A = this chain, B = another copy of it.
Amino acid sequence: MSDLAADAGLRAFNHVFDEAIALQAAPGQPGVYKGTPSQAYWNMVGPFGGTTAATALQAVLRHPDLLGEPLSLTVNYAAALEAGDYEVTARPVRTNRSTQHWTVMLTQADAEGQPAVVMTATLVTAARRATWSQNDRPLPAVPGPQEAERTPLYKGVEWINRYEMRPVHGHMPAVMDDSGDHSLTQLWLRDSPPRPLDFPALAAMADAFYPRVWLRRARRVPAGTVSFTVYFHAGSAELAECGDGYLLGQAEAQAFRNGFFDQSALLWSEAGVLMASTHQIVYYKE
């Protein structure tokens, strides 16, 4: 697909998420794109990290040499994206019979106008074949999305309003009184307004959990993801089956140690298909 055709395809859809991860191909430079972070997905400092991860993935998906579908994605957040143009470069560094290895880098001009690295990423795409398969993490027994109350719209952290979130366990503590005793959250979520699930949206949703340290401590401290990995168990067929339905997300921390904690999460379709497993290491203060 040419870049013009890809651009036309994006514009035809015109969902706010597509606008947030839209990339403009640099003429004559395959894999080099320009973009601008979206105010619609603004977080406290810089845009929601999920859209930045989705942008890295999008740069690969738009590359003319792409083979296969996303298998794994690791994104490292080196600095907060600022509200100006960025450049993202995706490079296929090794193509095998059934896997393709990618490096991605996102830069933004610093105070002197020099490109500074804001994000690095690596991806593997793969051509899958039908094999013996087994899901050892079935959908937890939880109330359905319509039985769970939607979190109210949130002023000041805009990206949260781009998702319909219906927590069933591990809500954000109403009172931050240091009384926390676990870090497990389960919630139904989908784009708001609804949008058919694709790989970039799934990658973004894998980062949609509020910092586990707030729940574990019932205390709000500064926190931000440092490195984020998504393993895609879903292929195109499983994404299509989801349509614009909900995903159940389940996230839990394992260890908090001297300024950094890890989080492991799973995302299932309403039909119970495990779509992705995802992990991150997160900075926290105090």
Closest A-B pairs by Cβ, 5 of them: A78-B94, A128-B258, A72-B227, A74-B74, A78-B101
**Which residues A240-267 have CB closer than 8 A to chain B?**
252-260, 262, 264, 266
Whether the pair A258, B130 counts as a contact (CB closer than 8 A) is yes
Whether the pair A93, B72 counts as a contact (CB closer than 8 A) is no
A134: CB under 8 A from chain B? Answer: yes
A165: CB under 8 A from chain B? Answer: no
**Which residues A13-62 have CB closer than 8 A to chain B?**
none
**Count the A residues whose beta carbon is within 8 Å of the partner chain — how many?**
62
Q: List 24 A-B contacts (CB under 8 A).
A: A72-B226, A74-B227, A76-B101, A78-B96, A93-B120, A94-B116, A101-B120, A120-B122, A124-B226, A126-B259, A128-B257, A129-B259, A131-B259, A133-B256, A133-B257, A135-B255, A136-B216, A136-B252, A229-B229, A231-B260, A231-B279, A231-B281, A257-B274, A262-B277
A183: CB under 8 A from chain B? Answer: yes
Which positions in A face B, CB cutoff 8 Å? Answer: 71-72, 74, 76, 78-79, 93-94, 96, 98-99, 101, 103, 105, 116-118, 120-122, 124, 126, 128-137, 182-183, 216-217, 226-227, 229, 231, 233, 235, 252-260, 262, 264, 266, 274, 277, 279, 281, 283-286
